[in-house]
Amino acid sequence: MVDEEALRQKLAKVEELFRRAGSPGERAAAAAAINRLYARLDSTSKDEEPEVELKFSLPDRWSLRLFIAVCRKHGVHPYRYGRQRRTTIMARARPGDFKRVIWSEFCQLHDELERYFEEVSDQLITRAMGSDGNASTVDGR
C-alpha cells in the first residue's frame, strides 16, 4: 500500500508543475496526473469523514469566480439554492480535505488577486488623476 504522506508530496510537486506549465499540453498532462493522485489519495484514506454541505459567503464577484474555479478544478461542484444571494455558494465535500486543499489554494490565489488589483488600481489612479490617492497623506482638521 502506498504511504499517504508520499502521495501528498507527489501531489504537491505535480501541482507546482501545473502552475509552471509552459504549454497547454504540459498543463493538461499535469492536470490529469493531479486527478489520478487525488483518486489514489481518496482510496487510501483510512478514516474517511462523510461529505457535508458547506456554505460560503464571499465578499465580491471576483472572489466568487475564483472560489468556483478552484472548487471545479478539484472536482467539487458548487451550487446555490433558490433565493440565495449571489455571493453565497454551497458545496458538498469532506471538511478536512476541503480546508486542506481547496480553501488553502483559494486563500493563496485570493491574496495574489488582491495584490494584483491593488497594483493596477494604484497605477490607474496615478495616471488618470496625477496623484497617488493615498489616504495616509490626507490632512487632518
For 31-66, what is each residue's pLDDT tens digit? 888 887 877 777 665 556 889 999 999 999 999 999
Which residue did the predictor score with more confidence, 13 or 82?
82
Residues 87 and 57: their CA atoms lie apart, in Å, by 6
Residues 71-116: tens digit of each pLDDT: 999 999 999 999 999 999 999 999 988 998 899 999 999 999 999 9
Report pLDDT for 23. 81
What is d(CA 34, CA 36) in angstroms, rounded to the nearest whole number? 5
> How many C-beta atoms lie closer than 10 Å to residue 101's C-beta?
21
Task: Return the pLDDT at 47.
Answer: 57
Its pTM surpasses 0.85: no
1 band by pLDDT with thresholds 50, 70 and 90: very low
- What was the pLDDT predicted at 2? 52
Question: Model confidence at 69, in pLDDT bands (50, 70, 90)?
Answer: very high
- State the cell numbers at 6: 508520499
The pLDDT of residue 107:
93
d(CA 96, CA 51): 10
* Residues contacting 89, CB < 8 A, separation 6+: 55, 56, 58, 64, 67, 68, 71, 78, 79, 80
Hey, where are the domains in the chain? 1-47, 49-131
Is residue 113 classed exposed, middle or buried when 0-12, 13-18 and 19+ CB atoms within 10 A define those classes?
middle
Nearest to 67, CA basis, from 117, 106, 116? 106
Task: Give yes or no for a contact between 91 and 81, defined as CB atoms under 8 angstroms apart.
Answer: no
